[in-house]
Chains A and B, each alone.
Chain A
Amino acid sequence: MNTFRIDYGEELEDAIDDLTSQINNSEDVSQRFPHRWLAVALLDNDPGLEEHLGGSVDGEALLARRDELRESLGPGIDTAIAGRRYDVVHEITASSVDSGGRRQKTATDRIDAIVINRYLGLPIFLGAMWVVFKITTDIAGAFLDWIDGAVSGPISDLATSAVSAIGLEGTWVESLIVDGAIAGVGAILVFLPVLFSLYLALAFLEDSGYMARAAFVMDRLMRGVGLQGKSFLPMLVGFGCTVPAIYATRTLDNERDRIMTAMLVPFMSCGARLPVYVLMSTIFFPRYAGLVVFSMYLLGIVVALVIGVILRRTALPVTRHAPTIMELPPYRMPTVHSIWFHTWVRAKAFLKDAGSIIFVTMMVVWLLMAIPVSGAGSFADTDVSDSAFAAVAGTVAPVFDPAGFGSWEATGSLMSGFVAKEVVIGTMAQVYGVEVAEADEAESISTLGSIRDLGVGLGAAVVDAAKAIPAMVGIDLGTEEAEAESSTLMGSLRLGFEESSGGHGALAALAFMVFVLIYTPCMAAVAAIRHEIGVRWMWMSIIGQSLLAWAMAVAVFQVGLVVGAG
Chain B
Amino acid sequence: MTILDRLLDELHTVKGPIRSSDLASRIGISDSALDGMLGVLVSKGKLKGSASTVDEELVACSGTACGASCVGLDKCPFIVDVPEVFSLVIEAPKVEHGRPLGR
Contacts and interface: CB of A to CB of B under 8 A. Distances in A.
A522 B66 contact: yes
A244 B19 contact: no
Contacts of A325: 11, 17-20, 23, 38, 47, 85-87
Interface string A375-398: 000000000000000000000000
A265 to B, nearest CB: 12
B48 to A, nearest CB: 6
A469 B25 CA distance: 41
Contacts of B48: 253, 322
Contacts of B18: 323-326
A276 B8 CA distance: 48
A76 B11 contact: no
A323 B62 contact: no
Contacts of B19: 112, 116, 216, 325-328
Contacts of B41: 79
Given A211-B81, A240-B78, A326-B84, A86 B2 contact: yes
B101 A73 contact: yes
A524 B85 contact: no
**In which size bucket is the chain B interface?**
35 or more
B2 A87 contact: yes
A228 B53 CA distance: 14
Nearest to A358: B65
A248 interface: yes
Interface SS of A by simple majority? helix
12 contacts: A75-B95, A83-B2, A86-B2, A223-B16, A229-B85, A230-B85, A240-B77, A241-B77, A349-B78, A356-B64, A421-B66, A524-B63
A527 B77 contact: no
B69 A349 contact: yes
B85 A528 contact: no
Contacts of B76: 244
Contacts of A90: 3, 29, 33
Q: Which 8 pairs, one residue from A and one from B, show the smallest C-beta to C-beta distance? A: A524-B63, A9-B102, A83-B2, A240-B78, A11-B102, A420-B65, A83-B4, A349-B77
B77 A345 contact: yes
Interface in A258-276: 270-272
A191 to B, nearest CB: 12
Given A233-B85, A420-B65, A524-B62, A76 B78 contact: no
Interface in B1-53: 2-5, 8, 11-12, 14-21, 23-25, 29-30, 33, 35, 37-38, 40-41, 44-48, 50, 53
Given A76-B97, A229-B16, A353 B64 contact: yes
Interface residues of A, number: 89
B5 A326 contact: no
Interface of B: 2-5, 8, 11-12, 14-21, 23-25, 29-30, 33, 35, 37-38, 40-41, 44-48, 50, 53-55, 58-70, 76-90, 92, 95-103
A186 B83 CA distance: 37
A348 B75 CA distance: 11
Interface string A10-35: 11111000000000000000000000
Contacts of B70: 243-244
Nearest to B99: A76
A74 B99 CA distance: 9
A419 B78 contact: no
A345 B80 CA distance: 13
A413 B34 CA distance: 54
A308 interface: no
Given A241-B66, A244-B68, 8 more contacts: A9-B101, A80-B101, A82-B4, A103-B24, A248-B53, A323-B12, A324-B85, A422-B65
B5 A521 contact: no
Interface in A521-536: 521-525, 527-528
B17 A324 contact: yes
Contacts of B15: 323
Contact of B101 (A11, A242, A323, A357): A11
Most central of A322, A325, A350, A524 by chain B CB within 10 Å = A325
Nearest to B20: A327
